[in-house]
């Protein structure tokens, strides 16, 4: 069975949004000599970094798996996907960019993802389930 992994796109501003406060507070913590707090900062930074490298989407057979570290592991039967919509919705999701795809599946299921190769991802899903409705943003 073929397995294709689609990495999450990452917005540069998201890296900055996470990195700048961590760096600034870590420098202040070092200047204060508060090593216990610095350890907590380091652990948080490692976990967030881990999220950035372990957020991806896998298509294997008829299953789409949405994975983000140990926090999210959603398995979706591609036959149940009804619609894929381009969106910039900022709600929390396993996506590291606001250039996202909203996927409606099952009776009431929905998830937002941000594959780097959106067009390739959509083509792959349509090969498996050609009845999926795809709605693109108007530019």
What are the pLDDT digits (tens) for 107-116? 999 999 999 9
pTM, rounded to two decimals: 0.84
> What's the rounded Cα separation, in Å, for the pair 139 and 33?
51
> What is the per-residue pLDDT for 23?
84
Please, what CATH class does the domain formed by 1-139 belong to? Answer: mainly beta
Query: Domain residue spans in the chain?
Result: 1-139
CA distances from 35 to 29, 30, 49, 131 (A): 7, 7, 21, 57
């Amino acid at each position: 069975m073929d397995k294709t992994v689609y990495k999450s796109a990452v917005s540069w501003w998201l890296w900055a949004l996470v990195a700048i406060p961590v760096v600034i507070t870590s420098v202040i913590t070092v200047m204060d000599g508060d090593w216990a707090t610095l350890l907590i900062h380091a652990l948080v930074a490692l976990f967030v970094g881990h999220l950035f490298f372990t957020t991806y989407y896998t298509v294997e057979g008829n299953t789409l798996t949405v994975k983000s570290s140990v926090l999210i592991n959603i398995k979706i039967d591609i036959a149940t996907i009804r619609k894929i919509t381009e969106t910039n919705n900022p709600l929390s999701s396993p996506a590291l960019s606001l250039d996202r795809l909203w996927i409606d599946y099952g009776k009431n299921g929905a998830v937002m993802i941000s594959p780097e190769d959106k067009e390739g991802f959509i083509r792959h899903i349509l090969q498996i389930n050609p009845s999926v409705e795809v709605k693109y943003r108007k530019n």
